[in-house]
Amino acid sequence: MLIIELLNLLSRMAHSGVHKDRGELRIHENLDELGTDLAEYIAELSEASVKERGVFTIAISGGSLIGLMGRLCEAPYNKTVDWAKWYIFWADERVVAKTHADSNYKLAKDGLLSKVPVLPSHVNSINDSVSAEEAADDYEFHVRQLVKTRTINVSDISDCPKFDLILLGMGPDGHVASLFPNHPVLDEKDEWVTFITDSPKSPPERITFTLPVINSASNVAVVVTGESKAEAVHLATDDVGPDCLSLPARLVRPIRGKLVWFLDKLAASKLDGSQFSE
Ligand SMILES: O=C(O)[C@H](O)[C@@H](O)[C@H](O)[C@H](O)COP(=O)(O)O
């Protein structure tokens, strides 16, 4: 048992912690290992934020990310994490009822939030009974109230909220949150939360944090697995030509915060110099 753990640790050390301009890369052999590292990373950030500010503000996305966070519901994290200090937000949400199979809230509730003792009043979900535009306005207003009371920290270089952690997934096209390639919302500089009604990924109506908010966070983690995303990971993190400069995932560059990529070896297989490439 001890030998296996030691081998796992050595393999993690060999593949993780590559630092690039565009963040730290943590490349894992398999999903199990990635899930363990991700849980440890989140738990450590939670502990540090609670120690420093008494709360932990975390924004999550939809997709496979929630399943990969599953280890947090298990020992030791289900007991050691200070869940009552968590304030949970959505970096993006599909504008559907909270009971709908497409709802990111439902995904997180079923897969994570119902399994740990978070306080229902700290779960900041969107208003699902209004239009996408109203839901975005409403959510921004709500975030503004929590910035005013400093439950959510504020950036020291802009008036943007400074979430302790924003967790993102990424699509094969390089989208993050609901910021899709070539979409005008990529240029949004003033709003904190905006909406789209033409998402290329179903469902079409979504609200999303804008890039200024994502890039004002203390920590941003992008969690990406699978071969279908290998090209986008390469384009988002390697030194590539100017054509890729507007790939949404490449625009994730926290100004003062720390960016970490959690990858499995398939997602990492097209990185320049990758030991996993063919
Ligand atoms: O609601 C959504 O659709 C998302 O928040 C979106 O940004 C997602 O995180 C990526 O599309 C990756 O999703 P997968 O990990 O499932 O591929």
Please report, for the domain that includes residue 75, its CATH number: 3.40.50.1360
Over 90: is that where the pLDDT of 211 sits?
yes
pLDDT(99) > 60 = yes
Q: Is 187 a domain residue?
A: yes
The answer to whether residue 136 scores a pLDDT higher than 90 is yes
- DSSP structure class, residue 231: H
Structural domain count of the chain = 1
Q: Measuring CA to CA, how many Å separate 215 from each of 108, 113, 158, 201, 222?
A: 23, 25, 11, 23, 12
- The Cα 104–Cα 110 span in angstroms is 10
Q: Report if residue 11 sits inside a domain.
A: no
How far, in Å, from the CA of 4 to the mean position of ligand 1? 33
Q: How far is C-alpha 278 from the geometric centre of its chain's CA atoms?
A: 29
Mean local confidence (pLDDT), 161-187:
98
Residue range(s) defining the domain that contains residue 38: 24-264
ipTM over 0.95: yes
| Residue 159, amino acid | D
Q: Does the residue 129 lie in any domain?
A: yes
Whether the pLDDT of residue 71 is over 50: the answer is yes
pLDDT at res. 13 = 44
- Please indicate whether residue 137, judged by its CB atom, sits closer than 6 Å to ligand 1: no
Locate the ligand 1 atom nearest the alpha carbon of residue 92 and give its number: 5
Question: Which of 201, 206, 214 has the most ligand 1 atoms within 8 A of CB, as the residue to mutate?
Answer: 201
Predicted model pTM: 0.94
* pLDDT at position 266 over 70: yes
Over the stretch 42-64, which tens digit does the pLDDT of each residue have? Answer: 999 999 999 999 999 999 999 99
Average pLDDT over residues 245-250: 92
141 located within any domain: yes
Peptide bond into 161 cis (omega under 30): no
Question: pLDDT over 70 for what percent of the chain?
Answer: 92
pLDDT category at 226 given cuts 50, 70, 90 is: very high
Going by alpha carbons, the residue nearest to atom 1 of ligand 1 is: 62
Rounded CA-CA distance 70/64 in Å is 10
Task: Check the CA dihedral 37-43-46-51 and report its sign.
Answer: negative
Determine if ligand 1 sits within 6 Å of the CB of residue 201: yes
- Give the count of beta carbons closer than 10 Å to the beta carbon of residue 247: 21
- Report yes or no on 16 lying in a domain: no
Is residue 129 very low, low, confident or very high in pLDDT (cuts 50, 70, 90)? very high
Mean pLDDT, the chain, integer: 93
Beta carbon of 66 within 6 Å of any ligand 1 atom: no
Tokens standing for residue 184: 């005008």
Q: Is 207 in the pocket of ligand 1 (CB under 6 A)?
A: no
Inside any domain, residue 2: no
Establish whether residue 171 lines the binding site of ligand 1, counting it when its CB lies within 6 angstroms of any ligand atom: yes
CA-wise closest residue to 211 among 186, 231, 174:
186
Q: Is residue 45 part of a domain?
A: yes
The reported pLDDT for the residue numbered 11 is 47
- CB-based contact 124:130 (threshold 8 Å): no
Question: Which tokens hold the place of 86?
Answer: 């968590």
Burial class of residue 2, CB neighbours in 10 A (0-12, 13-18, 19+): exposed
Least confident of 78-82, 175-179, 219-223, 271-275: 271-275
Asked, for residue 12, whether it belongs to a domain, the answer is: no
pLDDT at position 245: 78
